[in-house]
Structure 1
């Protein structure tokens, strides 16, 4: 069973996170954190899209706004 976990470790350390080793040794903070900034921007755009979709459903009146709670309350 330990070989299974060592295999997972090897996958993440030597394969999936290998590009981060390149960025770790850069002198510029901005260049080293460029991947993080890309993820932040993509997440922010996704949040804006999600908020726009919520507004569309709210303006159409398709959202269920009925007040309900558990029967034992």
Structure 2
């Protein structure tokens, strides 16, 4: 067994086994938009989650529900007295 055969075996395993899920996601189309439908869906879900999270932060900020009295370092605000 030569080094060339070892590297060809690694190549064969990688292309046929490890990249198989990516080949399945291509959906067999030549269209760029159809090939990236998963990326578009994940981007939309992430954007909606970001907007929701920012809305929740704003709601808690307006209600003054967060305790802002303690800081971990003196340069972030008043340091706790020892």
- Regarding TM over 0.5, the answer is yes
For 1:65 and 1:26, how far apart are their aligned partners in 2?
54
Q: TM-score, normalised by structure 1?
A: 0.63
- RMSD over aligned Cα atoms: 3.1
1:29 aligns with 2:32: yes
Structure with higher helix content: 1
Stretches of structure 1 that go unaligned for 5 or more consecutive residues are: 1-8
Aligned-pair CA distance for 1:41: 0.3
1:58 aligns with 2:77: no
Q: TM-score, normalised by structure 2?
A: 0.57
